[in-house]
Amino acid sequence: MKRRALGRCPVCGESLEVTKLSCSRCDTSISGHFETCKFCQMTDEQRNFVATFIRCRGNIKEVERELGISYPTVRGRLDTVIQALGFPIESDKEDEAEAAARRKEILDSLATGELGAEEAVKLLKQK
């Protein structure tokens, strides 16, 4: 059974560097200093979130349902993944646009009967 290489130091949390690569078939070994990929440096929780996010095709509402977490929690985890990949977090203006889109999505779901009034109110009160 193959084990997954660690991406971060279990002691201090810094990125680990791979210094040896080996082929199990022909026993060739290569030594040097190699970077790990950005995804390898994520925590298991972050990788599981990314897998769920992709499985749900980026639909935050589906991610909420599948993980049983609220919209702000999904956004928080997504922001953490974005930062782990080395990208800056979007500005507050874009967060406001996202919140407006979220409110519209809730109201549309209410209009189509997908959500009841109480559930819609509850969702609208969440940040």
- Helices and strands in the chain, H and E counts: 5, 2
**Contact, 84 vs 76, CB < 8 A?**
no
- Write the DSSP symbol of residue 36: P
Helix (H, G, I), strand (E, B), or coil: what is residue 82? helix
**Tens digits of pLDDT across the chain (127 residues):** 777 778 788 899 888 888 898 998 999 999 998 887 888 888 889 999 999 999 999 999 999 999 999 988 999 999 999 998 989 887 655 667 778 888 888 888 889 998 889 888 888 888 5
* Gap between the terminal Cα atoms of the chain: 44
